[in-house]
Amino acid sequence: MFRCSTFSLFLLSLLPAISSLPCIGVTHHSHPPSSHRIPTALHSLNINSLLLRDSDPHIIQAFLYTNVSIVLTIPNTLVSSIGTNRSHALQWLYRHVVPFYPRVNITTISVGNDFTVASPKFVDLLFPAIRNVHLSLREIGIRNVTVSTSFSFTGVITKSFPPSTARFQDFPGVDLIGPILQFLRHTNSSFLINLYPYNMYRLNSAIPIGFALFLEYPFNFRDDVAAGVRYQNLFDMMIDAVVSAMAAAGYENIPIVVTETGWPSAADAVAGNEEDVNKVYAEIYLKGLVKHLKSGKGTPLRKEGVAGVYIYELFDEEKKGTQESGQHWGILYPNLTNRYSFQFSGSWSAGAGEAKACMKILLEVSFLFLLLLSY
């Protein structure tokens, strides 16, 4: 049983990173600014890992002879054709990888992004597409680029709480997850997952906002009685749900990379006036996330934690999707100025807005605690 964390509002200082800690990167889609300014933006943020959802060759070229590791994404629209014809995999690789590798440090290719949700009628072609890309890389002579696919947490995990009960969803008529996990283990690749505590918080009114935002309060925890572990934040619960699902499938040691996470900083009229969608909460989440990753604590069920985390998104934009439509994300404005008073290294202290938000949450927690004592 873990000891309850010490009561404090301002224990969110970032600890120095060490080599064994997960890499912290950011995602990027194809929109302004121009491609040659993106390396400058990453350098200003002390970020050396980039995940490209739209693998524009002009953007890839901008990272020639840099130390930035790049994850490429094959769009969902090409997955089916690549799954049925390996020559299409070769065509994509000859345009997006061969002209640049190894002068660009391409480390991973994600075959699709949340493909099982985006194209449920063609899920039977996802694993063949992954395999065809891998075989095509070998045919070209490239052996140090791993291949995987990005799942969404809600699209692949079922029975997720408590984490020890989590299982992968079944896809009727398709043996999907087992072969993919076997492939990842055989090729030393990682399981890629888009993981948003914000979405789980929205869907479950019993989740306290502070638990989703990494805030450290007494009694701000959840216990998994069956596993005998205690959780101090929602992020770890979701990671351990993936760990448990993999263990139940017989593949418990595959590395996990969070390919998307974040908190929306604004909502327009389309999304509505959501109280918990604001810049203050978004900054608290990001700072809490980075502090947690740099602590080296891992999760209750996986002490080494995740292998990497990519924050959505490099530049402010509206996230495209049913639930998040009209919500703004991103850590930089298109003109390359910082959206937050926040760095990925060093330390920080709470600003006036954050302190006000933390005090509001604290008062809510204190009220509930006093209410429990009155019984």
Active-site residue identified among 260, 283, 313, 354: 260
CA geometry: angle 247, 251, 252, nearest 5 deg: 50
User: Could you give phi then psi for residue 262, rounded to 5 degrees?
Assistant: 165, -175
Torsion of CA 240, 241, 246, 252, to 10 degrees: 20
DSSP classification of residue 16: P
What's phi and psi for 146, nearest 5 deg? -85, 160
Is residue 25 classed as helix, strand or coil in its secondary structure?
strand
Going through the chain in order, the beta strands assigned E by DSSP cover 23-28, 49-52, 69-74, 105-113, 146-152, 157-158, 167-168, 191-194, 222-224, 229-231, 256-261, 266-267, 308-311, 317-318, 327-329
Contact 281, 213 (CB under 8 A): yes
- Residue pair 123/173 in contact (Cβ under 8 Å)? The answer is no
Q: Which residues pair with 168 in a beta bridge?
A: 157
* Distance of alpha carbon 96 from the chain centroid: 23
- For every residue of 209-278, DSSP letters joined together read HHHHTT---TT--EEETTTTEEESSHHHHHHHHHHHHHHHTT-TT--EEEEEE----EE-TTT---TT-S
Per the annotation, the verdict on 260 as an active-site residue is yes
Residues 237 and 288 sit within 8 Å (Cβ to Cβ): no
Residue in this structure with the two tokens 């890839």, named with its chain if needed: 60
Q: Which residues are catalytic?
A: 260
